[in-house]
Amino acid sequence: MFFSGRPRFGERVQQRMGIILLLAPALVVVLVLFVGGFGHGVAQSFGYLPFLEGSQVGVDAYADLWRDAEVRAGIGLTVRTALLATVLSFVLGVAGALLIRSSRRGRRLLSLIFQANLPVPHLVGALCMLLLLSQTGAVSRLATASGLTDSAAGFPEVTGDGFGWSIVAAYVWKEAPFIGVVILAALSRGVADLEDVARSLGAGRWQRFRHVVLPVIAPGAAAASILVLAFTVGAYEVPYLLGRPFPAALSVVALQRYRDIDLESRPLAMAITVLLFLTVTLLAVGYLALADRLRRISR
């Protein structure tokens, strides 16, 4: 190009049009289906049901949220399992990634095994946990065979339980390797050299981890954990198959109310989805603020 510098007005308009055209298809899909769909749900949560006679616009459904025992128990279960699963996945993911990185022999094989369940759908993960952890599952059989328990009832109830232990187990089985792989990718870019420099400058093991390794893996690990948190808050199959009718996860309660023949419970179902949306947003914002503060302290 002969002329450089600021493009002329006509060219700028042309470039702007080009960008709009490139973005248009994706924006149309997201605005119409995602924003429009969610907006429709919000409208119904405020009682906007024109096809239903006698329906009134108002915030009744939101008042009901706090009165409804199933919803209240659902909030507890959902937040509890999601937070516990995210923290455990993070810790085990970091530990796994560091273990693989520091092994000399069999590193490729080990990292392959670590990643083996990434493409396994969560639904299959839930089935695996059911066959493994239920009172008649594989672990319970091993416990009986080795004399630790003498009946199925003697094995702790971790599937279909009120706390959601096997729900957490299913998430951690899937998400710890996920976070670990993101960290391994971050670690593959020349961190070893930086660590060598730090070591030659007299940094100890903990100092090297804290000031060299942690800053490198932090952005990827934070992004991956937020995805995990968002997923576990809204997941349906895992808490449905591994939980019990009460207390059930919020997503399970929402779909059950939505499919209720009685359309009166429609606004409450939609209000629960709005609650799910707000929960994800709040937890993500809180998590980011926490991560940011930790980063500032470690500096």
**What residues between 234 and 293 interact with other proteins by CB under 8 A?**
234-237, 241, 251, 254-255, 258, 269-270, 273-274, 276-277, 280, 284
Name the minimum Å distance from CB 192 to other proteins: 15
Nearer to other proteins, 23 or 63 (CB): 23
Nearer to other proteins, 212 or 269 (CB): 269
Q: Does 34 interact with other proteins (rule: CB under 8 A)? A: yes
Site string for other proteins, 40-79 (x = CB under 8 A): xxx-x-----------------------------------
Among 73, 83, 127, 218, binds other proteins (CB under 8 A): 127
Task: Tell which positions 100-119 bind other proteins, by CB under 8 A.
Answer: 100, 102-103, 110, 113-114, 116-119
Task: Tell which positions 165-224 bind other proteins, by CB under 8 A.
Answer: 173, 177-178, 181-182, 185-186, 188-189, 220, 223-224
Name the minimum Å distance from CB 167 to other proteins: 14
Nearer to other proteins, 43 or 73 (CB): 43
Among 231, 239, 247, 248, binds other proteins (CB under 8 A): 231
| Count of positions on this chain that bind other proteins (CB under 8 A) | 95
Q: DSSP for the chain, please give it.
A: ----SSPPHHHHHHHHHHHHHHHHHHHHHIIIIIIHHHHHHHHHHTT--TTSTT---SSHHHHHHHH-HHHHHHHHHHHHHHHHHHHHHHHHHHHHHHHHHH--TTHHHHHHHHTTTTTS-HHHHHHHHHHHHSTTSHHHHHHHHTTS-SSGGGS---SS-SS-HHHHHHHHHHHHHHHHHHHHHHHTTTHHHHHHHHHHTT--HHHHIIIIIHHHHHHHHHHHHHHHHHHHHH--HHHHHHS-SSS--HHHHHHHHHT-SSGGGHHHHHHHHHHHHHHHHHHHHHHHHHHHHHHHHH-
Nearer to other proteins, 23 or 197 (CB): 23
